[in-house]
Structure 1
């Protein structure tokens, strides 16, 4: 058959009502006292013709699609990809499917994607929000749809979120570099007004202020074209050859930074000690291995999906929860103490 099989086609083929077919397919045959023989005939035909229920029509009838919308900055980024995978596994165990999308931190694109999710009647939203979508998220919450944010949040919107202690993370990493003997420590990150990025800058500044050292902050505009990140990063390091350490604010800018350092012929840590936010395989395999701030991926994913599933439970009522998790500073050879570096020289 070329046309898509419907419940009406099943009903006509068996000379029964479409309501009876619907009751059987929705597991209500016993409740409606439909004979076992008829149930078997319907299910046999459904299997033979390969009937697939229309999920959108079903969601309109039941008010539930069993679909969760997951919106992240970039699904190809290892941090977001790993979290998305863990969330998908937990959701599937509970009968939910996930639709992913990347916002690219673009407000207009995010608003278009939210409209698409609403058209699909998704049951709940997990969002790593870009700026200026406060009104859109507030409208979702007002309409009764659960929203959980992660990685960052919107200060003016009261919703559940799961984040890490970004301020302490960069404070701790900067303190580590200071304790290793470094004093001209640059912080290179993406220009952003998002909560997690503002907190990372604050933590870096606090550590330097405490040690009475001068901050060297360079914020670079995010761009999907890596060359447009590498160019200003290269220029900044060339203008400041006296830096003895650098802290990168994200894994993406960290990998770009390592390429620049190699291109400039600088030795790590002899010429420049390196620490980056977000730990993943590239940093572990780099020579020398790079000290990195590791986010608790599994704990983030577990808390995010647990919060949303509780919100989706019709019998569960809960107040808004705001969860902050700790990170781990994985120290490696890229931030070896200046004394040890001098000895190896």
Structure 2
């Protein structure tokens, strides 16, 4: 069956091909084409099943109007919400978003970059995993705008948007200590990411500030690729073997959800037997009786800042070679106090 062309649509409605082109490319008002004619063209194109040839459009304009979003995990609450908001905000600028996940695997992340680069996308928003440095630098060498989200590579000047993890954990620790907790455990993920290191550093620095000696036995690092069952059991064993712990701080929301299951399995009451706080929120933390105290990440602001930064870079020839302080965005988190950290 012959593919319907722009000229075919023009013949159907009795308009010039250029008029049809303007309408179907969203330039009807700009070219002062009446709404009646625009509606007639749009209806005819829809009925005929006509869609602009994106390859031809990109060759003509030098743009695909498509952005690549590579996140840690689409299944995670934080990244799923972030992806949805970014998609909405990109659409407001006339862009579509193609997204995929790395599962914190650098090799997989590099494969995603290479796959997306074949589609000649206009720009990229990436939550980087260790090992993705070279492929991201290759995008930059190709003059593709890249904005890193949630993390960055120390030593590489690449625009990024992230939350101040150190400040967030520090505020959470100050709250626990103020509430009377002294034997605070730390449960984190064993990943070589700057935000993970910052959170652990804030935990140990806070203990030292209050002359509370850090106890290595009270720090649990779980492999990222552990199954949920293994993680639940590991946290159960950790808590059971460290009876003196009176509070536990989880470094991510998925660890917090797993930890909540472990605490329930041990039949411990929150906060009577054990106080709990988590970096990042989750629906379960709000629904849990009394609620779980959390460090809230401003997802809306992260998405907006990321899109704004990317839009400011698109179309500029020296796009990634003039990184200024304005390109390195660090947003403040917020402590949300709930019933899991009542005064001891």
TM normalised by structure 2 equals: 0.86
Could you say if the C-alpha distance between residues 237 and 4 of structure 1 is closer, same or farther in structure 2, counting changes exceeding 3 Å? farther
CA deviations on 1:81-101 (whole Å, 9 max, x unpaired) are 222222112211111111111
Could you say if the C-alpha distance between residues 198 and 243 of structure 1 is closer, same or farther in structure 2, counting changes exceeding 3 Å? same
Larger radius of gyration: 1
2:325 counterpart of 1:325: no
8 Å Cα contact 2:143/2:317 also seen in 1? no
- What's the secondary structure of 2:160's corresponding residue? strand
Could you say if the C-alpha distance between residues 28 and 256 of structure 1 is closer, same or farther in structure 2, counting changes exceeding 3 Å? closer
CA RMSD of aligned residues (A): 3.2
Offset at residue 62 of structure 1 (A): 2.4
CA deviations on 1:253-288 (whole Å, 9 max, x unpaired) are 000000000000111111111000102321111123
Structure 1, gaps ≥5 residues long: 30-38, 339-345
Distance (Å, rounded) in 1 between the aligned partners of 2:318 and 2:139: 19
Match of 1:115 in 2: 114
Offset at residue 57 of structure 1 (A): 3.5
CA deviations on 1:104-133 (whole Å, 9 max, x unpaired) are 111121111111211111100001101111
8 Å Cα contact 2:280/2:295 also seen in 1? yes
Equivalent in 291, 294, 298 of residue 293 of structure 2: 291
Match of 1:93 in 2: 92
2:254 counterpart of 1:252: yes
2:183 counterpart of 1:184: yes
Match of 1:79 in 2: 78
Say how many residue pairs are matched: 333
Offset at residue 23 of structure 1 (A): 8.1
Distance (Å, rounded) in 2 between the aligned partners of 1:139 and 1:165: 28
Match of 2:57 in 1: 58
Match of 1:32 in 2: none
CA deviations on 1:304-342 (whole Å, 9 max, x unpaired) are 10000111144997644111111111111111111xxxx
- What's the secondary structure of 1:172's corresponding residue? helix
Equivalent in 299, 302, 305 of residue 304 of structure 2: 302
Match of 1:33 in 2: none
Structure 2, gaps ≥5 residues long: 29-37
- What's the secondary structure of 1:275's corresponding residue? strand
Could you say if the C-alpha distance between residues 169 and 24 of structure 1 is closer, same or farther in structure 2, counting changes exceeding 3 Å? closer
Q: 324-333 or 252-261: which moved more?
A: 324-333
2:151 counterpart of 1:149: no
Q: 199-208 or 286-295: which moved more?
A: 286-295
2:240 counterpart of 1:238: yes
TM normalised by structure 1 equals: 0.86
Offset at residue 157 of structure 1 (A): 2.3
